[in-house]
Structure 1
Amino acid sequence: MKNANDTYHSFSTYAGHRSAFYNLFQDYHRVMRLDLARELSSHFKRFQRKVAAAVSRGQGQIKVGKDPMSLGLYKRIAMEMLLSPSRDMVFARTFMVLSWNLMSRAANTASICYGHLEWREDALCVYFAHMKNDQRGSRPRDPRHVYSNPTAPEICPILALGVYWASYGVDDSDLRLFPGNDQYERFRKVLGRVLKTTPVADELERRGTSATDIGTHSMRKGASTFCSSGLTACPPAVAVHLRAVTGLPILQPEFAVLPPHFAAGAEIIQSAKRLCFPGLPESVEYVAEFALASLVYHIDFLRENLPNTHPLFQSALFANVELIESLRLNVDTSGSGCAIQPTGVLPHVTILTEILEARNELREEIIARKADMQKITELQDALCGRLVTDVSKLLEERVCQSGVPTCNSLADSVMKRLEDVGVLQLLLPRDDVAAGDAGLDTVVETAEPSAEKTSHHVYQWGGAMHLFPEDMVLPNGTAEQAGGVSYSFPLLKPREIFACLRDMRVPVSEDEIRACDVGAVRKVLEAFIENTMGVTREDMAQIAFPGLPTLSFPELHSESVPDLTFYRTAQRLLVACGVDDFGLRDVLHPTPKRVRRQLSALINFSKFRTERLAAFSEITSQTDELLAQKKALQEENAALQRELDQLLEEQKAEEPARLQLQTEVNELEKEINVLNRQQAVLRHETDEMKTRRSEMEDAISSTRFTKVEAENDIERLKAQIVTSPDRVKGELQTIGRTVDKAKEDLLELEEKHAAVIQFIEIYERAEKELARTFKLLGEIEQELKTCKETKDQLKNASTRLSELRIRTTETVTRRERLEKLVELKKRELNRYMEDARAADENANRALQMARNELSKLEAAHQEVRQRIMQNNDASRKVELKMKEEEAQYTKELKNLEQMYTRLHQATEYYNQQVLGAIRLSS
């Protein structure tokens, strides 16, 4: 009563043996004695305790039956079956998915017939007429519902049914869904093969499960376990038997999703069903419509995951691309305007759906309100700017009418006078300054702050509160233009400004900034110009105006040019930072309020620029990648051009062979037509000969039967022979005449038999000739197939040549356009060269003057170099002294470490002595 490894069987095995013993009495119509029944019951209970104790010691199986299949393992096995191109895997996957969703035994799944299927609302209904717990079929036959799962196509039962029908076809001569003998055993073997594949075996090993622990009953156990667990508030039994088993997310609104269905187009759907599922019984045509919809809905998933050799791609559906596209336009999963409604849905799913819809509507409403507030803010800003502009213009006009000069009018007069005498041309930036400005402009274009961070300050001056400071100067132009180039920034506190200057290592003190020292403010501005624009103080000090010698007294402007260059550069920087009213008075006579505002703007812009450098680097890298791609495309274009030329040459070389092949194909077609006509004539003659042969065979059979009857008559007459001589003579004469007549008939039959044999020989020769003809036709068909393949290759080559011609035409057009552009650039270059010659002449004159100035500056710089050398010597001495002190410090540190080590050893020795004394005293 044990296994081969000396372990006990399960309780169900021993219970089966006991039931067999009880059944033995019933088969022999005997009644078991009560004492024997009590003894068996008592013995079985003792044996159960013995087996339980042995199992607890590890001498038996703790689990009964096969392990339940988890949802993750179920998905993994279903996906592995789906990826296999084997038809057995298509069958096994459909069988497994239906068994899981029906929570049925494998034997019940194998017995499903087409008449047991129907579609109600959004579910496939399956009836079971015979089950293990209903052997007589007396229980109410309520259907079990199977729902689609569009969120997980690998375990969708409707999609599995569609793939099965499209791959295997439908045999209306068999009533069962899975036709054939012993489909249960077939599924068991295929499942065993899948469990031994590498991906599934690795997954089972990772889970600590053996392939022998998974069987046909694992789906039923796993489905019931999955539906009845996973929540503290488990779903009711109705939901378990309905929608929950499909694997839909029970805590998401997608739990109530409808299956893929066709919204319209009844005619095209009917034609598609006849094309994809020919021979389908009428009872499951509605089921087939949803199966077809699932196939079309998941067609991208199937094309992406299934191998090209999968039998699904050999079906009629995938051979008609236009039909697929027209069907995809009519497939839907939403319930809007649909006749079917979701069933088997839990109440909380409806609440979740309503919450999701309300959240989406609220999000859209918030976005709309934000857009409205943005528009209102923009209108308020525009109105406020226009109002301030108009009031400022009116005040300026009143002041001008009164004859009192204003700051703006004085500044305009000074700038006009400087422009008349040509001084403003000295402020034109050099190449490096222009490059720095260009980079600044690039950064400024991306520095548009969001409207959400804009803050408005209130200023008090003139006995009232205002939105603008007292010293604010409005920019020229309209309010829209001014709002397009100015940016807001927060005013920093003095300690924040000083902390930022210390981080930048600007050589100024806080007292100098507080006192608005002109030199200190200029140093700070020069530091920001160098950090943001890349223009150093030495660059601004150089004279970059080539027309300086044309002035009457250029030496008078040699000192003012660097100051004006500095002013112009600082003005450009501050305008970019949002300070549009920077003027000469801020350089010559700075005030604390304006200095604070200007430094706040510079610091804000500097931080903004630092933050945007990463984006600028990313754009630069993207530009480099695009340039590399452009170069690669140009190389590819050149390679394609070479390939096109080579293909054209090959086409020219192969043209005679193609024409010759075409001629041969035409001749073969003519010969095939002649042979087809000969074959038709021979087939007609063969049919006539077969008819004549059958007639002759009937005649021979009839003659043989007559001969047999004549022999019987002869035997019968022999028995009636009498001894009368006359009668004997008469009968002999009659017999002689009969024999002569029989001989004549025999000769005639032999002639007919020879004719039949000759006809048979002719027929056999005709059959051999037909066989040779058919063989020749097969060879001709093979040659025609080869010719067609050659034609297809020529067509493909022609298509590719046409594409290459189009690309060549585009390349030539692009080349012509580039040549025109090069010609235009050459003209511009000639013009620039002429301008450059004139500029070189002016530069040579300026260079001579600069050399004179350089000789003077070198004399002055000689003294500075001597001081630098002296400072370098002093620095070397200080460094040597520091090295000596460092060596001395290192030496002292080592001495201290040695002293610490000796002290530590002495302390340990002292502690050991004390501990030893304590032990001795105790």
Structure 2
Amino acid sequence: MSYNPRMSILPAAQQQSRSRKKEEEAAYANMRLPDREIVGCINEMGIPFTVADLQKPNPMQVQMIFEWFGELLMNKTRQTVDPAMRAAAEDICGDFGDALMPPDTRNLMGFFASLQRLMFDCGVHDFGFSDLYKPTHDRLVKIFSYVINFVRFRESQTGVIDEHCNRAEGTKARIEQLYAENQNMEAQLDDMRANRRQMEALVAEKTRRNEELKKRLLELRRNQEKVAARLENAKTKKGELAAELEEKTAAKIALQKESAKLRPYTLQSPSALQASLTELSNTLNNNKAQIDSLDRRARALQTSSDSFAVVCSDVASCIKLLEEIAVELAKEEEDNAKNAKQRDALTERGANVREVERTEALLQRQLAKWTERTETLRAQSQEKAQRAREKMEELRAVHKTLTEERSEKGKDIERRRVRIEQIEKKVCALPGEVHRKPADMRFRCWISRRTSRMRCTPHMTSTSSWRPTSSSTSLKWSRPSEPAGSEIMSLCGRMGTVRLAAICVLKDWNRYP
């Protein structure tokens, strides 16, 4: 046997929807405004509107009122949404946008989307297109009540809303400024990167050219050393050949001198002459051979000297080229120094960009935090406004109850006052009749004692003090200052006192026939 309570056969979703519907109905009962108040608010906007128009709504007039609400709360009308809707129609339909989507229809649809978002913020979650084209009295009363209450709440919280709006605008302006600075920094960084790539290409080209020049310079230096060595060898050979030529010239001169000395001896005998001739022919041949060899050596030396001149010109050109290479190397060093400075500046700008990115991330987090805090404050203000409205409704109900009770007590007091005045008139008429009785003096004494006793001992209806005042026709009690409820109770006490005095007088009158 199960002891669990009986469960409902309805699904949980239907129960939740019913409970939610009950809560919405209770909230709507608190938010609902009278028809006259709604009509008065709409007339204050400058739109002619009556209770009959609210009970039998006209779609065009209702659309005009909603458009005014949209312009007041969101600054959006059909004209403001027209450019965006026209662009959307052109993107979707191309040149046939106006033919397939008329301007009035698409503007109304765009305005309806903005208006639906506004109604959701006001608390109307079931706002539909039928509320624009087929409005009913109940729906309009509900929607206008929510919107008017939202406008009143917004006017009551204008300072807070302006403060948050100013903070949001300031934050937005700061974000836009930082974003613009970030864009500028990124553009500068891209330019610097492009310059860096160009400079790297130039540096690579100059480095390659420098390496080629270094290799050529090394080859030229080797060639210069070889040419210098050959020049030294040629100079040495030239010196040796010149010394040998001088020696042979000196030997020739000496031989000529000797031949001049020996010439007389040639005339001595033919055989001797023949022998000397043969000897001289041999000597001559030898000398010619030596002279030919010396000529060949001289021509070789001339060729060597010409080659030496060519080598000297090549060496001069190499020296000039080396000077140009030295100038290029100096320029290359200057470019390297500039590249190093630009690289340092690029590193510094990169650090600045990272710092800006960190600052932007920090500002994004602060913006998210302030947005969340704004939402929290908005929710708290809505809860406070809801509690204030509930308390106001309770106070209205209590005020209405007190007003009804006061009116009823006033009517009852008026009836009792009339009765008291009638009894007072009867009491005032009694002394004329008592004057003819034997006990006239005793009755007057008794009346004075009873009146003085009633004046001195009033019926207290509250903890405050009363002061008696006498009049020619009735006994009145007055208090300096007291609320309406206390005056009513004091008046009831006075009526009871007068009634008691009248009853006592009638009873005592019956004692004296």
Task: Calculate the TM-score normalised by the size of structure 2.
Answer: 0.34
| Bigger Rg over Cα | 2
Q: Indicate the structure whose relative CO is greater, using CA pairs within 8 Å and at least 6 residues apart.
A: 2
